A and B are shown apart, each in its own frame.
Chain A
């Protein structure tokens, strides 16, 4: 799992599957407010694509594309997006996360602005859940050393 697992069939199938999984995750995040799904589920599916990279190739192959620094940064980024949207609502004079008030700064009618605010929250939750899930998996499989384990 952590060393390079050299199997042509698994690698080719995963190379086709990973973009499809990521597109489906983005679809789930973007359509979270009027169909089943949302930030948490979409983030979990997005994290599953990165876990599939670790299983099909190895840890270094995945870390070249999504390093731990980016991972830790994205944990904080999602929370930041969530809190920022809530705080903007407070500064405009409404309650925390009351998106309807955002129509004062966004050029759209209040109903569309409410959907856009929900979309922003979903994106923040999705980014944080994805980064935390990948981080838990890396710490679990490498004894927290984030390098080649003894598997």
Chain B
């Protein structure tokens, strides 16, 4: 039965990744990448790699989303040149 959960989470991961690439707003892209990280964290926990999942939750979802949002605040919507 566990492979059903596996395939369900994997489908949502792929949807989040494609959305993060294709969406036009940078902030939405960063948030979708954070959701992708959390879903990868769930997937790794379910596969038994708890240490990797913990690293993904701390670094991928927590710190790097904050870094992305901090970097996006320095950009403008239209280019200057």
Q: Mark B34-72, 1 if CB is under 8 A from A, else 0.
A: 000000000000000011011100110011001100110
Q: List 8 A-B contacts (CB under 8 A).
A: A37-B51, A40-B55, A41-B58, A44-B63, A137-B67, A140-B67, A143-B74, A151-B73
In chain A, what residue has the closest Cβ to B55? A41
Q: Count residues of chain B with CB under 8 A from any CB of chain A.
A: 15
Q: Does chain B have a CB within 8 A of A47?
A: yes
Q: Which residues of B contact A (CB under 8 A)?
A: 50-51, 53-55, 58-59, 62-63, 66-67, 70-71, 73-74
Interface residues in A97-151 (C-beta closer than 8 Å to B): 133, 136-137, 140-141, 143, 149, 151
Interface residues in A43-99 (C-beta closer than 8 Å to B): 44-45, 47-48, 51, 55
B54–A51 contact, CB under 8 A? Answer: no
Which 4 pairs, one residue from A and one from B, show the smallest C-beta to C-beta distance? A44-B58, A141-B70, A36-B50, A41-B58
Q: Which residues of A contact B (CB under 8 A)?
A: 1, 28, 36-38, 40-41, 44-45, 47-48, 51, 55, 133, 136-137, 140-141, 143, 149, 151
A44–B62 contact, CB under 8 A? Answer: yes
Assembly CA distance A87 to B70 (angstroms): 39
Chain B contacts of A44 at CB under 8 A?
A: 58-59, 62-63
A51–B63 contact, CB under 8 A? Answer: yes
Q: How near does chain B come to A135, taking the closest CB pair, in angstroms?
A: 12
In chain B, what residue has the closest Cβ to A140? B70
Assembly CA distance A141 to B75 (angstroms): 11
